[in-house]
Structure 1
Amino acid sequence: MGLKFSNDLDAWHRWQESRSLKQQFVKHLRRAHQAPEFFLLANGPEPRLLVPIEAPKPSTIAAYTAPLRFLGEEQIAVLAPSDVSHLLEGHWTSTRVSGRDLPEILHGIRAVFSAGSYLPAGELAYEWSQQLGARFVVAQHGLTTPFAPPLARGSHLLAFSDSDADFWKSGRRDVSHEVVGAQILWNAAQRKRAATDTRDAKPVFLGQLHGAELPRRISAKTAQRFCRATGAEYRPHPSETDRLSRIQHSVWQRRGIEFENSGRTLGELHRPVVSVFSTGVLEAAAAGEQAWVTCVDAPDWVLDFWERYGLSQWGEDPTPAPPVPQTEPAQSIAASLARILEGAA
């Protein structure tokens, strides 16, 4: 099994648009495509690395800037929808850019480090990389499903594992890759504690009503059935803010389903974690917590996903901790970027 849209980004966007909860978001992306406006930040006059950031959230920025601390005095530019200089380490100048013309300060860019080309900042950065002959480097930041956006032509993928890379590439030969590991799992493993049996503790079900990958009738039915059968608390995904999700939350609360809204991280809860295909299940397992998956009328791709990542179904032994590299993935990413910037890769 591989991507549903292995090399057709337009088809992926049409699929996204077909998902009713995504239509407003896609329309926003189209407006951004027509007249992109961003802030361009730089920590020096001649940056060689460009980092597009799609969402000005601390967690998102941390995910993309963590490797930068291993690059020493390297001059870097950041393309973001707002001025995020206050969330970056060091001194940064900030200017507005409008339109698709390549800014003069970026003429020395040799590599772009991104999540891909499927959102506005990454799309524009990829366009500029093509003009400059710069490498377009994509870092994996979550577990892959068949509905992941395809990689831009000629991308260099920094993957969690060879199996993740093979799945995302889906037979394409224009994409290269290397394995660096998963920063989120590495972080979880660093806080791993001695194994304790928390099976009798009240489980936490990680909500995924926002996900376009799974029909809502399946994601909602699974969450409701599991919470009512086990007494689990429902933990809404931060993106479950749309009207239908809010209505569903109200219905569940009226039916007696309790919610986990403490704001604490999964590692702080020390309770069993269950979901359909959330990265949080593997993150919890990496931290030494008990974690499982479950799904009502699971589609074939969900079953394949569970097998590919070694996830245990509820009622089986807990999901084993995934292997993590000895070297921090952010450091491995930085080393790869450094080789590319010096022309050695």
Structure 2
Amino acid sequence: MGLTHPQDLRAWQRWQDSRHPARSVLTRVRPRPARGVLTRGGEAPDVLVALDSGSPSNRAALLAPVAHLPRERVAVLAPPGLAPTSAGWRSAPWSADTLDRSLDSVRLVVSAGHYLPLGGAGFALATSRDVPFVVVQHGLLTPHAPPLPPSARLLAWSEADVEFWCAGRDDVRSAVVGAQLLWEATAAAGGDDDVPRTPAGPPTYLGQLHGAELPRPVLAAAAEAFCRETGASYRPHPSERDRASRRQHARWEAAGIVVERDGPPLAELGTPVVSVFSTGVLEAAARGLPAWVELPDPPPWLAEFWARYGMRRWGEDPTPAPPLPATAPAQLVARAIEGLL
């Protein structure tokens, strides 16, 4: 098993548009040019890090390695508020028509992919200069993940993810570095092996109504049934801000289900965790918390996904802590980058 669209980015984008038709219509009617902030650590950086999101997974995958590289060698292209702000970094607004002129010294580009505007701009730069484009895995992979760019250098979480993401491809070079996100979750737990791995109270259900991989009615029905049966509270995903999600939350609250809109950050959650395919399940397991996945009659791809990441279904033993390398993945990413220069 592998990606539904292993190489065709446009086909993947059409699929995404079909899952979010209102958003795709708005984008076509009012297209927005790629814009961001370009932050330099020196006058002639040879590494460009391009990120489109400030999510914890993107920060861990793309910004954490920057701390292990010489500042003067790095430039970061990101939305406002995400780039490094410590002494020695200089920022300026950026738009797509200025990137090529402003980074003549760049010899390598790092991103999570080429499927969003800033990563796409970075890929265009790498292609025009014939320099390596490095993709750092930032999350779990379903068959609906975007394809890797042509001739990408992949830094993946595991060999199983390499095989899955690169199935049908012979143009991608890869190395396994592990998941910085899960490394940080383990560090937050302090390596305490005495953390109890049996439920101490009602679980928290990590919502995924925003997910395009499964129909919203299926995700909503599964969440509601689980919360009713177990007394679990529902924690909306940060992307559940659209009108349909807010209406669903209100209906659940009216029916007596607790919706945690203002709970602690996921990294500080202290309850058992359940979800359909959230990365938060592995984060919780890395912290020593009981964590499970659940969905009645899961499709074959989801069963394979659960098996690939070692996720356990509700009613089984909790999901074990994911394996991690001896060295922080952010350091391994930085070493890989330096090795390509």
Q: TM-score, normalised by structure 1?
A: 0.91
Q: State how far apart, in whole Å, the 2-side matches of 1:119 and 1:136 are.
A: 15
> Equivalent residue for 2:175?
178
> Equivalent residue for 2:122?
125
| 1:136 maps to which of 123, 133, 136 | 133
> Equivalent residue for 2:217?
217
> Equivalent residue for 1:149?
146
Note closer, same or farther for the CA distance 1:57–1:316 as it changes in structure 2 (3 Å cut): closer
Note closer, same or farther for the CA distance 1:299–1:57 as it changes in structure 2 (3 Å cut): closer
> Equivalent residue for 1:36?
34
Q: Amino acid of the residue matched to residue 255 of structure 2?
A: R
What number of residue pairs does the alignment pair up? 338
Q: Does 1:24 align with 2:23?
A: yes
Percent of aligned pairs with the same amino acid: 49
> Equivalent residue for 2:162?
165
SS of 1:256's equivalent in the other structure is: coil
Q: Amino acid of the residue matched to residue 150 of structure 2?
A: R
Q: State how far apart, in whole Å, the 1-side matches of 2:213 and 2:131 are.
A: 32
Gaps of 5+ in 1: none
SS of 1:172's equivalent in the other structure is: coil
Aligned-CA RMSD value: 2.1
> Equivalent residue for 1:113?
110
> Equivalent residue for 1:238?
238
Gaps of 5+ in 2: none
Cα distance per residue 1:57-107 (max 9 Å; x no partner)? 68744542111111134421122233645x433322233333445433311
> Equivalent residue for 1:269?
269
Cα distance per residue 1:289-327 (max 9 Å; x no partner)? 111110023111111111111111101111111111110
Measured after TM superposition, the shift of residue 264 of structure 1 is 1.5
**8 Å contact from structure 1 (residues 56, 82) kept in 2:** no
Structure 1 segment 307-318 matched on structure 2, within 5 A: 307-318=307-318
**8 Å contact from structure 1 (residues 16, 23) kept in 2:** no
Note closer, same or farther for the CA distance 1:200–1:42 as it changes in structure 2 (3 Å cut): closer
- The list of structure 1 runs, each at least 4 consecutive aligned residues, that deviate by more than 4 angstroms after superposition, is 29-33, 56-63
Measured after TM superposition, the shift of residue 231 of structure 1 is 0.2
Structure 1 segment 75-94 matched on structure 2, within 5 A: 75-82=73-80, 84-85=82-83, 87-94=84-91
Q: State how far apart, in whole Å, the 1-side matches of 2:330 and 2:222 are.
A: 35
Note closer, same or farther for the CA distance 1:208–1:76 as it changes in structure 2 (3 Å cut): same
**8 Å contact from structure 1 (residues 29, 119) kept in 2:** no
> Equivalent residue for 2:62?
64
Q: State how far apart, in whole Å, the 2-side matches of 1:148 and 1:221 are.
A: 24
Q: TM-score, normalised by structure 2?
A: 0.92
Q: Amino acid of the residue matched to residue 159 of structure 1?
A: A
